[in-house]
Homo-oligomer: A and B are copies of this chain.
Amino acid sequence: MKSNLNSKLTEGASGLVFYSLTPPKITTDPERVIVIANNQMERLQHMPVDGLILYDIQDESTRTEKERTFSFIHTIAPEVYAQQYLGALKVPKIIYKSIANQTQEQFTSWLKENEAIDYAVFVGASSQQQIEATRFSLNDAYAARQQNCERLMLGGVTIPERHSKKGDEHLRIFHKMDKGCRFFVSQCVYNLNDTKNVLSDYYYHATEHGKAMAPIIFTLAPCGSLKTLQFMEWLGIEVPKWLYNDLKHSKDILESSVTTATKIAAEIISYAADKNIPIGFNIESISIKKEEIDAAHVLLQNVIQLVKPVAAPVVVEQVLAQEPEEVAAV
């Protein structure tokens, strides 16, 4: 029998809400990892989320020449973290898998070893340099999945900012759908204009060519400091100048960013509802500071209220978040 999430994705349902986590650094003491995982599960178990995304963090230093805001440290592999530490949480796990630095053989072995994974999102190399090093592309990864484990429910990444430069992001989405993707998760969005532009072209292309639309899950994240804002820019997230100014001058940048992200969610919902475009949201915390994680949970509740207004209100539990006062390995 298919799970609830699987059916919803297959049907192209709107209104899905995901939460996303970055696994702890590989250098973290295993007992500490258990504490972190238990805290995360405790916070999430009462939330009506449809899925939990676990990121696969790669060193993207070849993507840009700009200096990385936070230093890069490897994290526990998401499938390992999901299986060994988050097993008690009865929420579907969506495993990100970066294909950067993977050869065909390595990737196929990974697929076979992880047949138990139900949901995955393959992430392409972040630079041409990486692709050339291994001669293994995202299309190769899609083909390998089709050959080895077609039951794996596959999602793709979409980047609205890319649309304003190249204008073909909607075509990339349809191309990925042809290759087996049944849902899409965006990079964190702070630019409503870019977001509406890609949704618009997606919708009109689908209408004109009689194509079905897969759900697009928009990632939203609070921003607690100028440093996080700079890191978001390093990641390629386009923050409009007026919003950048407002956040920079805000007395409480974190609260402002939650209000802003909630407004963006409301506007995306309103825009998509008019056209029946299936959309959903993924809430993440860019940094792992306790207050930013708290803010991500406030944002999660706000978005759930917008998307699923009938869901019972949830009491926020004040549990200790992962490694307070420390910034993310993301």
Residues of A within 8 A of B (CB): 167, 191-193, 196-197, 199-201, 204, 240-242, 245-246, 249, 271
How many whole Å from A142's CB to the nearest CB in chain B? 28
What number of copies of this chain does the assembly contain?
2
A237 to chain B, nearest CB (A): 15
Q: How far is the CB of A262 from chain B (nearest CB, A)?
A: 16
Q: Which residues on the B side are within 8 Å of A271 (C-beta)?
A: 242
In the complex, the answer to whether A249 meets B204 with C-beta atoms within 8 Å is: yes
Chain B hits for A245, CB < 8 A: 200-201, 204
Q: List the B residue with the shortest CB-CB distance to A164.
A: B241
Q: Which residues of B contact A249 (CB under 8 A)?
A: 204
A192's nearest neighbour on chain B, judged by CB, is B193
15 A-B pairs (CB sep. < 8 Å):
A167-B241, A191-B193, A193-B193, A193-B240, A193-B242, A196-B242, A197-B240, A197-B242, A200-B241, A200-B245, A200-B246, A201-B241, A201-B245, A204-B249, A242-B271
Alpha-carbon distance A104/B253, docked complex (angstroms): 51
A271 to B199 CA separation, bound complex (whole angstroms): 25
| Closest beta carbon of chain B to A33's beta carbon, Å | 42
Which residues of chain B are within 8 angstroms of A192 by Cβ–Cβ distance? 193
Chain A at the B interface: SS class: helix
Roughly how many angstroms separate A192 CA and B200 CA in the complex, as a whole number?
17
Chain B residues near A241: list those with CB within 8 A: 167, 197, 200-201
**Distance of A240 Cα from B193 Cα, bound (Å):** 7
Given contacts A196-B240, A200-B242, 4 further A-B contacts (CB under 8 A): A197-B240, A197-B242, A200-B245, A200-B246
CB-CB nearest 9 A-B residue pairs:
A200-B242, A196-B242, A197-B241, A200-B245, A193-B193, A197-B242, A204-B245, A193-B240, A200-B241
Residue of B nearest to A240 (CB): B193
How many Å lie between the Cα of A264 and that of B199 in the bound state?
20
Chain B residue contacts of A240, Cβ below 8 A: 193, 196-197
Q: Which residue of B lies closest to A200 (CB)?
A: B242
Contacts of A167 in B (CB 8 A): 241
A275 to chain B, nearest CB (A): 9
Q: Determine the residue in chain B with the shortest Cβ distance to A208.
A: B249
Q: In the complex the two chains form, what is the Cα distance from A199 to B201 in whole Å?
A: 29
Instruction: Give the complex CA separation of A167 and B244 in angstroms.
Output: 14
Chain B residues lying within 8 Å of A246, measured Cβ to Cβ, are: 200
A176 CB to closest chain B CB, in angstroms? Answer: 21
CA distance A241 to B193 in the complex (A): 9
Query: What is the minimal beta-carbon distance from A148 to any residue of chain B, in angstroms?
Result: 39
Distance between Cα atoms of A199 and B241 in the complex (Å): 10
Name the residue of chain B whose CB is nearest to the CB of A204. B245
Chain B, residue nearest A271 (CB): B242
